[in-house]
């Protein structure tokens, strides 16, 4: 990376960044099987208060990236290398008890499935107050008052009754609100939301996203939004990272990315989103093949087998992420003025 990149948003090493992920690699090892490189040299950074999107298909390594940042991957059979600096502290090198003291207080996470992310045999109240008693040292009564206030802020009506209820008595949307309340209880400086709306109804999705946006803006919390949904990214993120097969293939400010996607994969993603301004009868363009049609990065671009712009130069070497504000990893990108509608697959 040249010095020109240093100031660009989202690139690693930006001055004053809150979270700095550098060359993060996660390899799953299982006896008798080939190693699986789920995350491969991912670098990005998040400034205080910024909202950053990580976008990609299922299995591209988004969630593993978030779990690696939080130190929540299993210890055995998983090999994590690289660096995750949070406010200058290397999280990967932090002893477990120190990391525990940070998790839930300074960095928090909201997971995908609210149906399974709450403990079924513990009242909602306890699941919110336990963060407060642990990290802010509140007494029981104080923590309950604070928890009721939190539930009210995330839009749960009649919070003092809800505190006594169990997860199965709440709807999916309510549960996700409760999880958001618990995550934001200690006003963390960084919130990772891993597909926070995927398991919810469309109408609820919009409410939850709006809620996240407001809360994050109010408290100045930086947000890493992990999603496969470009619509979600378009509404919320300052900077977007597009991931494919464990690597970031394109990084750009939101507007640039949507106006002129350069990587053929990003172009494909955008072309497969239905649009209101499209003439009737125009068919959506899916990306041909599936994420399984990949080749190891060591032998070139993993997207090559599915790529409409594939050329000879794609396969011998893995290209690097290059470029400043709008970085990408491609030897034959789409033309920079190309609107995504022009991306047509053969």
Per the structure block, which two tokens stand in for 30? 């299982």
Binding site for another protein (CB under 8 A): 70, 72, 76, 99-105, 108-109, 111, 113, 116-123, 126, 130-131, 134-135, 166, 168, 179, 182-183
Nearer to another protein, 60 or 192 (CB): 192
Residue 232 C-beta: closest distance to another protein, Å: 21
Length of the chain counted residue by residue: 346
| Contact yes or no for 146/93 (Cβ under 8 A) | no
Residue 345 C-beta: closest distance to another protein, Å: 37
Burial 204-215 (b: 16+ CB within 10 A, else e): bbebbbebbeeb
Nearer to another protein, 66 or 239 (CB): 66
Element spanning 46, H or E: strand 36-46
Nearer to another protein, 102 or 307 (CB): 102
The CA–CA distances, whole Å, from 288 to 10, 300, 310, 339 equal 30, 19, 13, 20
Nearer to another protein, 57 or 113 (CB): 113
Nearer to another protein, 72 or 93 (CB): 72
Residue 104 C-beta: closest distance to another protein, Å: 4
Round to whole Å and give the CA distance between 111 and 183. Answer: 10
Nearer to another protein, 29 or 342 (CB): 29
The CA–CA distances, whole Å, from 38 to 46, 79, 156, 294 equal 21, 10, 37, 13
Pairing of strands 247-253, 239-244: antiparallel
Closest CA to 212 of 186, 183, 240: 183
Nearer to another protein, 62 or 262 (CB): 62
Residue 134 C-beta: closest distance to another protein, Å: 6
C-alpha radius of gyration, the chain, whole number: 21
């Amino acid at each position: 990376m040249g010095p020109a990149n240093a100031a660009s948003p989202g690139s690693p090493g930006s001055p004053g960044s809150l979270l700095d992920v550098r060359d993060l690699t996660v390899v799953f090892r299982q006896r008798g099987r080939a190693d699986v490189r789920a995350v491969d040299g991912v670098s990005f950074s998040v400034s205080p208060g910024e909202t950053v999107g990580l976008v990609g298909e299922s299995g591209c390594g988004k969630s593993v990236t978030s779990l690696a940042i939080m130190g929540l991957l299993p210890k055995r059979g998983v090999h994590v290398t690289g660096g995750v600096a949070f406010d200058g502290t290397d999280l990967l090198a932090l002893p477990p008890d120190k990391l525990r003291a940070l998790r839930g207080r300074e960095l928090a996470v909201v997971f995908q499935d609210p149906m399974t992310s709450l403990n079924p045999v513990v009242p909602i109240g306890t699941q919110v107050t336990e963060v407060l008693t642990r990290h802010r040292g509140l007494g029981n009564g104080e923590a309950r008052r604070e928890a009721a206030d939190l539930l009210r802020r995330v839009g749960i009506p009649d919070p003092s009754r809800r505190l006594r209820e169990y997860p199965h008595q709440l709807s999916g949307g309510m549960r996700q609100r409760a999880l958001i309340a618990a995550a934001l209880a200690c006003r963390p400086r960084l919130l990772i939301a891993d597909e926070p709306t995927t398991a919810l109804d469309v109408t609820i999705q919009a409410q939850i996203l709006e809620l996240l946006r407001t809360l994050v803006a109010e408290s100045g919390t930086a947000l890493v939004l992990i999603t496969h949904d470009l619509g979600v990214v378009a509404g919320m993120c300052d900077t977007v990272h597009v991931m494919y097969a464990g690597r970031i293939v394109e990084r750009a400010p939101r507007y640039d990315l949507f106006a002129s996607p350069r990587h053929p994969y990003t172009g494909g993603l955008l072309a497969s989103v239905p649009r209101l301004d499209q003439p009737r009868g125009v068919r959506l363009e899916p990306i041909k093949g599936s994420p399984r049609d990949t080749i190891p990065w060591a032998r070139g671009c993993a997207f090559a087998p599915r790529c409409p712009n594939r050329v000879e130069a794609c396969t011998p070497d893995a290209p690097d992420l290059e470029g400043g504000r709008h970085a990408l990893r491609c030897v034959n990108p789409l033309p920079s003025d190309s609107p995504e509608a022009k991306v047509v697959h053969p």
